[in-house]
Structure 1
Amino acid sequence: MESSMNKLALSAALAALALSPVLSQAAHAQDANTSTATYGSNIDPNWQDNFFVAGQLGQSQYRVDSDVLNHNHGVFQNVRFGWRWNGLVGPEIGYVYLGQPKWSDGYSQLSVKPRAATVGVNGKYNFYQGWFVTAHAGYMRSQTKFAATGDFGTDRYKTWNNGLYAGVGVGYDVTHNFSLGLNYDNYRLQSGNNTSLDNIGVPHGRANVANYSASAEYRF
Protein backbone atom coordinates (compact mmCIF):
# COMPACT_ATOMS: atom_id res chain seq x y z
CA MET A 1 0.00 0.00 0.00
CA GLU A 2 2.86 2.36 0.84
CA SER A 3 4.43 1.65 -2.56
CA SER A 4 1.09 2.37 -4.27
CA MET A 5 0.72 5.68 -2.47
CA ASN A 6 4.30 6.60 -3.37
CA LYS A 7 3.59 5.93 -7.06
CA LEU A 8 0.46 8.06 -7.04
CA ALA A 9 2.30 10.80 -5.15
CA LEU A 10 5.12 10.65 -7.72
CA SER A 11 2.62 10.92 -10.59
CA ALA A 12 0.89 13.84 -8.91
CA ALA A 13 4.24 15.53 -8.27
CA LEU A 14 5.22 15.09 -11.91
CA ALA A 15 1.85 16.46 -12.98
CA ALA A 16 2.30 19.47 -10.70
CA LEU A 17 5.84 19.99 -12.02
CA ALA A 18 4.62 19.84 -15.59
CA LEU A 19 1.76 22.24 -14.82
CA SER A 20 3.94 24.76 -12.99
CA PRO A 21 5.39 26.49 -16.08
CA VAL A 22 1.90 26.49 -17.60
CA LEU A 23 0.42 28.26 -14.59
CA SER A 24 3.34 30.66 -14.40
CA GLN A 25 3.18 31.59 -18.06
CA ALA A 26 -0.62 31.80 -18.03
CA ALA A 27 -0.42 34.65 -15.55
CA HIS A 28 1.49 36.67 -18.19
CA ALA A 29 -0.53 35.64 -21.23
CA GLN A 30 -2.55 38.81 -21.76
CA ASP A 31 -0.85 39.80 -25.01
CA ALA A 32 -2.02 37.48 -27.78
CA ASN A 33 1.03 38.11 -29.97
CA THR A 34 3.43 37.41 -27.13
CA SER A 35 1.47 34.28 -26.22
CA THR A 36 1.70 32.91 -29.75
CA ALA A 37 5.44 33.43 -29.87
CA THR A 38 6.05 31.96 -26.44
CA TYR A 39 3.74 28.99 -26.20
CA GLY A 40 3.67 27.49 -29.70
CA SER A 41 1.09 26.75 -32.34
CA ASN A 42 -1.66 25.50 -30.04
CA ILE A 43 -2.42 28.95 -28.58
CA ASP A 44 -5.63 30.66 -29.63
CA PRO A 45 -6.52 33.93 -27.83
CA ASN A 46 -10.22 33.34 -28.53
CA TRP A 47 -11.45 31.47 -25.44
CA GLN A 48 -14.25 29.88 -27.45
CA ASP A 49 -11.69 28.02 -29.58
CA ASN A 50 -9.86 26.31 -26.70
CA PHE A 51 -12.14 23.32 -26.14
CA PHE A 52 -10.70 19.87 -26.83
CA VAL A 53 -11.50 16.17 -26.94
CA ALA A 54 -8.76 13.61 -26.32
CA GLY A 55 -8.64 9.82 -26.51
CA GLN A 56 -6.07 7.41 -25.09
CA LEU A 57 -5.48 3.72 -25.81
CA GLY A 58 -2.85 1.57 -24.16
CA GLN A 59 -1.97 -0.96 -21.47
CA SER A 60 -2.91 -1.05 -17.78
CA GLN A 61 -0.79 -2.66 -15.07
CA TYR A 62 -2.28 -3.46 -11.67
CA ARG A 63 -0.28 -3.25 -8.45
CA VAL A 64 -2.11 -4.67 -5.43
CA ASP A 65 -1.08 -5.88 -2.00
CA SER A 66 -1.82 -9.48 -3.00
CA ASP A 67 -0.47 -11.30 -6.04
CA VAL A 68 -3.92 -12.74 -6.77
CA LEU A 69 -5.10 -9.96 -9.07
CA ASN A 70 -1.81 -8.49 -10.27
CA HIS A 71 -2.39 -8.00 -13.97
CA ASN A 72 0.13 -6.45 -16.36
CA HIS A 73 -1.58 -6.73 -19.73
CA GLY A 74 -4.97 -5.06 -19.41
CA VAL A 75 -6.54 -2.70 -21.93
CA PHE A 76 -6.59 0.99 -20.97
CA GLN A 77 -9.09 3.31 -22.66
CA ASN A 78 -9.77 6.92 -21.78
CA VAL A 79 -11.74 9.77 -23.34
CA ARG A 80 -11.60 13.32 -22.00
CA PHE A 81 -13.35 16.59 -22.78
CA GLY A 82 -12.05 19.92 -21.57
CA TRP A 83 -11.08 23.53 -22.07
CA ARG A 84 -7.86 25.50 -21.55
CA TRP A 85 -7.53 29.18 -20.80
CA ASN A 86 -5.32 30.69 -23.52
CA GLY A 87 -4.65 27.11 -24.60
CA LEU A 88 -2.70 26.46 -21.41
CA VAL A 89 -4.67 25.24 -18.38
CA GLY A 90 -8.26 24.47 -17.50
CA PRO A 91 -10.85 21.91 -16.35
CA GLU A 92 -11.56 18.47 -17.81
CA ILE A 93 -14.05 15.63 -17.45
CA GLY A 94 -13.61 12.09 -18.67
CA TYR A 95 -14.44 8.42 -18.66
CA VAL A 96 -11.86 5.67 -18.22
CA TYR A 97 -11.81 1.88 -18.59
CA LEU A 98 -9.01 0.22 -16.59
CA GLY A 99 -8.97 -3.32 -17.99
CA GLN A 100 -10.32 -6.56 -16.51
CA PRO A 101 -7.92 -8.46 -14.25
CA LYS A 102 -8.83 -12.09 -13.54
CA TRP A 103 -7.81 -14.79 -11.10
CA SER A 104 -8.38 -18.54 -11.30
CA ASP A 105 -7.22 -21.58 -9.35
CA GLY A 106 -8.55 -24.06 -11.88
CA TYR A 107 -11.84 -24.57 -10.03
CA SER A 108 -13.13 -21.07 -9.52
CA GLN A 109 -12.56 -17.70 -11.16
CA LEU A 110 -12.85 -14.05 -10.14
CA SER A 111 -12.91 -11.19 -12.63
CA VAL A 112 -12.90 -7.49 -11.80
CA LYS A 113 -13.97 -4.78 -14.26
CA PRO A 114 -13.47 -1.18 -13.03
CA ARG A 115 -14.59 1.95 -14.87
CA ALA A 116 -14.61 5.54 -13.67
CA ALA A 117 -15.89 9.04 -14.39
CA THR A 118 -13.23 11.68 -13.79
CA VAL A 119 -13.11 15.42 -13.17
CA GLY A 120 -9.94 17.44 -12.78
CA VAL A 121 -7.54 20.03 -14.16
CA ASN A 122 -5.30 19.74 -17.21
CA GLY A 123 -2.46 21.71 -18.78
CA LYS A 124 -0.56 21.79 -22.06
CA TYR A 125 2.72 23.63 -22.62
CA ASN A 126 4.60 23.96 -25.91
CA PHE A 127 8.30 24.01 -25.04
CA TYR A 128 9.72 23.97 -28.58
CA GLN A 129 7.76 24.75 -31.73
CA GLY A 130 5.13 21.97 -32.03
CA TRP A 131 6.51 19.84 -29.18
CA PHE A 132 4.65 19.96 -25.88
CA VAL A 133 4.24 18.42 -22.44
CA THR A 134 0.89 17.77 -20.78
CA ALA A 135 -0.32 17.01 -17.27
CA HIS A 136 -3.62 16.35 -15.59
CA ALA A 137 -4.87 15.31 -12.16
CA GLY A 138 -8.12 15.05 -10.27
CA TYR A 139 -10.89 13.00 -8.68
CA MET A 140 -12.60 9.87 -9.99
CA ARG A 141 -15.80 8.07 -9.12
CA SER A 142 -15.40 4.40 -10.01
CA GLN A 143 -17.79 1.52 -10.55
CA THR A 144 -16.35 -1.97 -10.18
CA LYS A 145 -18.15 -5.07 -11.43
CA PHE A 146 -17.22 -8.40 -9.82
CA ALA A 147 -17.99 -11.83 -11.28
CA ALA A 148 -17.16 -14.93 -9.20
CA THR A 149 -17.63 -18.33 -10.87
CA GLY A 150 -17.38 -21.73 -9.23
CA ASP A 151 -19.36 -24.85 -8.32
CA PHE A 152 -22.07 -22.54 -6.99
CA GLY A 153 -22.57 -20.92 -10.40
CA THR A 154 -21.79 -17.25 -11.06
CA ASP A 155 -22.33 -14.42 -8.60
CA ARG A 156 -22.18 -10.81 -9.77
CA TYR A 157 -21.87 -7.64 -7.74
CA LYS A 158 -21.15 -3.91 -8.18
CA THR A 159 -19.56 -1.38 -5.88
CA TRP A 160 -18.94 2.38 -6.18
CA ASN A 161 -15.86 4.06 -4.73
CA ASN A 162 -13.86 7.28 -4.80
CA GLY A 163 -10.27 7.72 -5.95
CA LEU A 164 -7.61 10.00 -7.42
CA TYR A 165 -5.68 10.12 -10.67
CA ALA A 166 -2.70 11.94 -12.16
CA GLY A 167 -0.75 11.74 -15.39
CA VAL A 168 1.88 13.32 -17.63
CA GLY A 169 2.63 13.15 -21.33
CA VAL A 170 4.69 14.45 -24.22
CA GLY A 171 3.62 14.97 -27.81
CA TYR A 172 3.62 16.95 -31.02
CA ASP A 173 1.11 19.32 -32.66
CA VAL A 174 0.62 17.80 -36.11
CA THR A 175 -1.60 20.74 -37.04
CA HIS A 176 -3.03 23.74 -35.21
CA ASN A 177 -5.99 21.60 -34.12
CA PHE A 178 -4.64 18.04 -33.94
CA SER A 179 -1.96 16.45 -31.73
CA LEU A 180 -0.44 13.04 -31.01
CA GLY A 181 1.24 12.03 -27.75
CA LEU A 182 2.59 9.37 -25.39
CA ASN A 183 1.39 9.26 -21.78
CA TYR A 184 1.79 7.76 -18.33
CA ASP A 185 -1.24 7.83 -16.02
CA ASN A 186 -1.69 6.52 -12.50
CA TYR A 187 -5.10 5.73 -10.97
CA ARG A 188 -5.54 5.09 -7.25
CA LEU A 189 -8.45 2.67 -7.41
CA GLN A 190 -10.64 1.42 -4.56
CA SER A 191 -13.12 -1.44 -4.94
CA GLY A 192 -15.41 -3.54 -2.80
CA ASN A 193 -16.87 -2.79 0.64
CA ASN A 194 -18.34 -4.60 3.65
CA THR A 195 -21.45 -5.42 1.65
CA SER A 196 -19.44 -7.04 -1.16
CA LEU A 197 -17.63 -9.16 1.42
CA ASP A 198 -20.95 -10.50 2.71
CA ASN A 199 -22.45 -11.06 -0.75
CA ILE A 200 -19.60 -12.23 -2.94
CA GLY A 201 -16.65 -12.80 -0.61
CA VAL A 202 -14.60 -9.85 -1.91
CA PRO A 203 -13.48 -7.32 0.73
CA HIS A 204 -12.70 -3.65 0.32
CA GLY A 205 -9.36 -3.24 -1.42
CA ARG A 206 -7.04 -0.74 -3.08
CA ALA A 207 -5.03 -1.00 -6.26
CA ASN A 208 -2.49 1.21 -7.94
CA VAL A 209 -3.17 1.08 -11.69
CA ALA A 210 -0.35 2.30 -13.95
CA ASN A 211 -1.26 3.01 -17.58
CA TYR A 212 0.95 3.54 -20.63
CA SER A 213 -0.83 4.87 -23.69
CA ALA A 214 -0.80 6.72 -26.99
CA SER A 215 -3.18 9.64 -27.36
CA ALA A 216 -4.81 11.84 -29.97
CA GLU A 217 -6.29 15.25 -29.25
CA TYR A 218 -8.50 17.49 -31.36
CA ARG A 219 -9.01 21.14 -30.44
CA PHE A 220 -12.00 23.12 -31.69
Structure 2
Amino acid sequence: MDSKKLLCFALLASVTSLSHASGFFVNTSLGETNFYPQSNVYDFYGHSHTEALRVGYRWTSGAFSYGLETGYANLGHSHQYYGHLIGFTNLSERIDGPVLGANLKYSLPMGFYVSARGGFFRSTDHQISKETSWSFFPYPQTTYTTSANVSGMGSYFGVGIGYDISKSFGVGLNYDRYRAHVVTNYQEILFDVTPRVDAYTLTAEYRF
Protein backbone atom coordinates (compact mmCIF):
# COMPACT_ATOMS: atom_id res chain seq x y z
CA MET A 1 0.00 0.00 0.00
CA ASP A 2 2.77 2.39 0.91
CA SER A 3 4.64 1.61 -2.28
CA LYS A 4 1.55 2.44 -4.37
CA LYS A 5 1.14 5.79 -2.61
CA LEU A 6 4.81 6.53 -3.12
CA LEU A 7 4.51 5.73 -6.82
CA CYS A 8 1.49 8.03 -7.20
CA PHE A 9 3.27 10.92 -5.51
CA ALA A 10 6.36 10.34 -7.67
CA LEU A 11 4.29 10.41 -10.86
CA LEU A 12 2.49 13.58 -9.75
CA ALA A 13 5.77 15.30 -8.94
CA SER A 14 7.27 14.30 -12.28
CA VAL A 15 4.28 15.60 -14.25
CA THR A 16 4.35 18.91 -12.38
CA SER A 17 8.09 19.41 -12.84
CA LEU A 18 8.03 18.49 -16.51
CA SER A 19 5.17 20.86 -17.25
CA HIS A 20 6.88 23.96 -15.85
CA ALA A 21 10.47 24.22 -17.07
CA SER A 22 12.43 27.33 -18.05
CA GLY A 23 12.55 28.15 -21.74
CA PHE A 24 11.04 29.92 -24.73
CA PHE A 25 7.34 29.80 -25.52
CA VAL A 26 4.87 30.86 -28.20
CA ASN A 27 1.11 31.07 -27.72
CA THR A 28 -1.91 32.06 -29.73
CA SER A 29 -5.31 33.24 -28.46
CA LEU A 30 -8.76 33.34 -30.07
CA GLY A 31 -11.92 34.70 -28.53
CA GLU A 32 -14.43 37.51 -28.09
CA THR A 33 -14.09 41.18 -27.17
CA ASN A 34 -16.40 43.78 -25.65
CA PHE A 35 -15.83 47.49 -26.30
CA TYR A 36 -16.98 49.78 -23.50
CA PRO A 37 -18.27 53.38 -23.62
CA GLN A 38 -15.86 56.21 -24.13
CA SER A 39 -18.38 58.54 -22.46
CA ASN A 40 -21.94 58.55 -21.14
CA VAL A 41 -23.08 61.08 -23.72
CA TYR A 42 -23.33 58.95 -26.84
CA ASP A 43 -24.26 55.38 -27.63
CA PHE A 44 -21.12 53.32 -28.10
CA TYR A 45 -21.08 49.59 -28.51
CA GLY A 46 -18.97 46.76 -29.76
CA HIS A 47 -18.86 43.00 -29.63
CA SER A 48 -16.26 41.46 -31.87
CA HIS A 49 -13.68 38.71 -32.35
CA THR A 50 -10.06 38.87 -31.29
CA GLU A 51 -6.84 37.05 -31.98
CA ALA A 52 -3.37 37.45 -30.51
CA LEU A 53 0.09 35.94 -30.90
CA ARG A 54 2.79 36.14 -28.22
CA VAL A 55 6.35 34.85 -27.88
CA GLY A 56 8.65 35.07 -24.90
CA TYR A 57 10.85 33.40 -22.32
CA ARG A 58 10.13 32.17 -18.77
CA TRP A 59 12.40 31.37 -15.85
CA THR A 60 11.21 28.79 -13.33
CA SER A 61 11.82 28.85 -9.58
CA GLY A 62 9.90 26.14 -7.77
CA ALA A 63 6.19 26.48 -8.47
CA PHE A 64 6.64 29.98 -9.91
CA SER A 65 7.52 30.86 -13.49
CA TYR A 66 8.12 34.45 -14.54
CA GLY A 67 9.18 35.95 -17.83
CA LEU A 68 8.90 38.48 -20.64
CA GLU A 69 6.63 38.47 -23.66
CA THR A 70 6.01 40.38 -26.85
CA GLY A 71 3.52 39.96 -29.68
CA TYR A 72 0.50 41.35 -31.49
CA ALA A 73 -3.17 41.68 -30.56
CA ASN A 74 -6.11 42.44 -32.86
CA LEU A 75 -9.12 43.49 -30.75
CA GLY A 76 -11.69 43.56 -33.55
CA HIS A 77 -14.24 46.22 -34.47
CA SER A 78 -16.59 48.54 -32.59
CA HIS A 79 -19.30 50.97 -33.69
CA GLN A 80 -20.62 54.31 -32.51
CA TYR A 81 -23.65 56.38 -33.55
CA TYR A 82 -24.76 59.83 -32.50
CA GLY A 83 -26.88 62.70 -33.82
CA HIS A 84 -26.10 66.41 -33.80
CA LEU A 85 -27.64 69.69 -34.97
CA ILE A 86 -27.16 69.19 -38.69
CA GLY A 87 -27.26 65.40 -39.01
CA PHE A 88 -25.76 62.22 -37.58
CA THR A 89 -22.45 60.33 -37.52
CA ASN A 90 -21.60 56.64 -37.82
CA LEU A 91 -18.18 55.65 -36.50
CA SER A 92 -16.49 52.30 -37.06
CA GLU A 93 -13.12 51.46 -35.57
CA ARG A 94 -10.66 48.60 -35.34
CA ILE A 95 -7.96 48.56 -32.66
CA ASP A 96 -4.78 46.51 -32.92
CA GLY A 97 -1.06 46.70 -32.21
CA PRO A 98 2.03 45.16 -30.61
CA VAL A 99 2.32 44.30 -26.91
CA LEU A 100 5.35 44.13 -24.63
CA GLY A 101 5.15 43.01 -21.03
CA ALA A 102 5.80 40.50 -18.28
CA ASN A 103 4.04 37.29 -17.25
CA LEU A 104 3.73 35.17 -14.13
CA LYS A 105 2.65 31.55 -13.77
CA TYR A 106 1.99 29.46 -10.66
CA SER A 107 1.83 25.67 -10.83
CA LEU A 108 -1.04 23.81 -9.19
CA PRO A 109 -1.36 20.04 -8.59
CA MET A 110 -2.13 17.66 -11.46
CA GLY A 111 -0.72 19.97 -14.14
CA PHE A 112 -3.11 22.91 -13.62
CA TYR A 113 -1.88 26.49 -13.31
CA VAL A 114 -2.96 30.10 -12.80
CA SER A 115 -1.32 33.00 -14.62
CA ALA A 116 -1.16 36.78 -14.89
CA ARG A 117 0.34 39.16 -17.43
CA GLY A 118 0.53 42.85 -18.14
CA GLY A 119 2.47 45.55 -19.93
CA PHE A 120 2.40 48.08 -22.75
CA PHE A 121 0.01 48.09 -25.71
CA ARG A 122 1.11 50.24 -28.65
CA SER A 123 -2.35 50.51 -30.16
CA THR A 124 -3.53 51.89 -33.48
CA ASP A 125 -7.14 52.95 -33.92
CA HIS A 126 -8.25 52.50 -37.55
CA GLN A 127 -11.35 54.67 -37.61
CA ILE A 128 -13.86 55.43 -40.36
CA SER A 129 -16.38 58.25 -39.87
CA LYS A 130 -19.48 58.53 -42.04
CA GLU A 131 -21.17 61.94 -41.69
CA THR A 132 -24.73 62.47 -42.94
CA SER A 133 -26.42 65.87 -42.92
CA TRP A 134 -30.18 66.34 -42.68
CA SER A 135 -32.15 67.16 -45.82
CA PHE A 136 -33.53 70.71 -45.67
CA PHE A 137 -35.33 72.31 -48.57
CA PRO A 138 -33.88 73.25 -51.00
CA TYR A 139 -30.70 71.36 -49.98
CA PRO A 140 -30.53 67.57 -50.48
CA GLN A 141 -29.17 65.14 -47.89
CA THR A 142 -25.40 64.77 -48.13
CA THR A 143 -22.99 62.09 -46.89
CA TYR A 144 -19.21 62.04 -46.78
CA THR A 145 -16.67 59.63 -45.33
CA THR A 146 -13.33 60.28 -43.63
CA SER A 147 -10.76 57.93 -42.13
CA ALA A 148 -7.95 58.19 -39.59
CA ASN A 149 -5.25 55.88 -38.22
CA VAL A 150 -4.03 57.15 -34.88
CA SER A 151 -1.52 55.43 -32.60
CA GLY A 152 -0.73 55.80 -28.92
CA MET A 153 0.86 53.97 -25.99
CA GLY A 154 -1.67 52.10 -23.86
CA SER A 155 -1.65 49.17 -21.47
CA TYR A 156 -3.01 45.67 -20.89
CA PHE A 157 -3.51 43.35 -17.94
CA GLY A 158 -4.82 39.81 -17.82
CA VAL A 159 -5.36 36.70 -15.70
CA GLY A 160 -5.93 33.09 -16.65
CA ILE A 161 -6.23 29.47 -15.66
CA GLY A 162 -5.10 26.46 -17.64
CA TYR A 163 -3.77 22.95 -17.89
CA ASP A 164 -0.41 21.69 -19.16
CA ILE A 165 -1.05 18.59 -21.23
CA SER A 166 2.66 17.88 -21.54
CA LYS A 167 6.06 19.47 -21.03
CA SER A 168 5.71 21.25 -24.37
CA PHE A 169 2.01 22.03 -24.72
CA GLY A 170 -0.73 23.61 -22.62
CA VAL A 171 -4.16 25.24 -22.99
CA GLY A 172 -5.88 27.93 -20.95
CA LEU A 173 -8.72 30.42 -20.55
CA ASN A 174 -7.79 34.08 -20.24
CA TYR A 175 -9.34 37.44 -19.45
CA ASP A 176 -7.46 40.56 -20.63
CA ARG A 177 -8.32 44.24 -20.27
CA TYR A 178 -6.80 46.59 -22.85
CA ARG A 179 -6.60 50.38 -22.65
CA ALA A 180 -6.00 51.95 -26.06
CA HIS A 181 -4.74 55.47 -25.37
CA VAL A 182 -5.48 57.04 -28.74
CA VAL A 183 -7.31 60.27 -29.57
CA THR A 184 -9.33 60.12 -32.77
CA ASN A 185 -12.41 62.29 -32.24
CA TYR A 186 -13.60 65.24 -30.21
CA GLN A 187 -15.30 63.05 -27.60
CA GLU A 188 -11.95 61.74 -26.41
CA ILE A 189 -10.56 65.29 -26.33
CA LEU A 190 -13.50 66.89 -24.48
CA PHE A 191 -14.22 64.07 -22.03
CA ASP A 192 -10.65 62.78 -21.57
CA VAL A 193 -11.64 59.17 -22.25
CA THR A 194 -9.96 56.31 -24.07
CA PRO A 195 -11.34 53.03 -25.44
CA ARG A 196 -11.44 50.07 -23.05
CA VAL A 197 -11.66 46.59 -24.53
CA ASP A 198 -12.18 43.37 -22.56
CA ALA A 199 -11.05 40.12 -24.21
CA TYR A 200 -12.12 36.57 -23.31
CA THR A 201 -9.94 34.01 -25.06
CA LEU A 202 -8.90 30.39 -25.36
CA THR A 203 -5.10 30.11 -25.49
CA ALA A 204 -2.85 27.34 -26.77
CA GLU A 205 0.84 27.46 -25.88
CA TYR A 206 3.87 25.60 -27.14
CA ARG A 207 7.12 25.60 -25.13
CA PHE A 208 10.61 24.88 -26.48
Matched, 1:41 2:14: no
Aligned to 1:99: 76
Radius of gyration: which is bigger?
Answer: 2
* Aligned partner of residue 133 in structure 1, secondary structure: strand
Question: Conserved in 1, the CA contact under 8 Å of 2:80 and 2:91?
Answer: yes
Matched, 1:148 2:122: no
Unmatched runs of 5 consecutive residues or more in structure 2: 1-12, 132-141
Q: Runs of 4+ in structure 1 displaced over 3 angstroms?
A: 36-40, 104-108, 201-205
Question: Conserved in 2, the CA contact under 8 Å of 1:41 and 1:129?
Answer: no
Unmatched runs of 5 consecutive residues or more in structure 1: 1-35
**Counterpart among 186, 195, 198 of residue 207 in structure 1:** 195
Question: Conserved in 2, the CA contact under 8 Å of 1:60 and 1:76?
Answer: yes
* Aligned partner of residue 129 in structure 1, secondary structure: helix
- Percent identical among aligned pairs is 30
Q: Shift of residue 39 of structure 1?
A: 5.1
Aligned to 2:99: 118
Aligned to 1:59: 32
Relative to its length, the structure with more strand (as a share) is: 2
Q: Shift of residue 80 of structure 1?
A: 0.6
Q: Shift of residue 170 of structure 1?
A: 0.5
> Which amino acid counterpart does residue 116 of structure 2 have in structure 1?
A
What are the superposed Cα offsets for residues 20-46 of structure 1, whole Å, 9 maximum, x if unpaired? xxxxxxxxxxxxxxxx769543233xx
> Which amino acid counterpart does residue 141 of structure 1 have in structure 2?
R
CA distance in 1, matches of 2:15, 2:66: 15
* Aligned partner of residue 98 in structure 1, secondary structure: strand
* Aligned partner of residue 41 in structure 1, secondary structure: helix
* Aligned partner of residue 99 in structure 1, secondary structure: strand
> Which amino acid counterpart does residue 142 of structure 1 have in structure 2?
S
CA distance in 1, matches of 2:201, 2:17: 24
Equivalent runs, 1:188-207 vs 2, <5 Å:
188-192=179-183, 196-197=184-185, 203-204=188-189, 205-207=193-195
Aligned to 2:149: 158
CA distance in 2, matches of 1:153, 1:91: 45
CA distance in 2, matches of 1:108, 1:188: 24
- Alpha carbon RMSD of aligned pairs, Å? 2.3
Aligned to 2:59: 85
Relative to its length, the structure with more helix (as a share) is: 1
Q: How many residues align?
A: 174
CA distance in 1, matches of 2:197, 2:124: 15
What are the superposed Cα offsets for residues 71-119 of structure 1, whole Å, 9 maximum, x if unpaired? 2x21121111110012811110011111110124696421011112111
Aligned to 2:6: none
Question: Conserved in 2, the CA contact under 8 Å of 1:57 and 1:213?
Answer: yes
CA distance in 1, matches of 2:182, 2:130: 18
> Which amino acid counterpart does residue 25 of structure 2 have in structure 1?
F
* Aligned partner of residue 181 in structure 2, secondary structure: strand
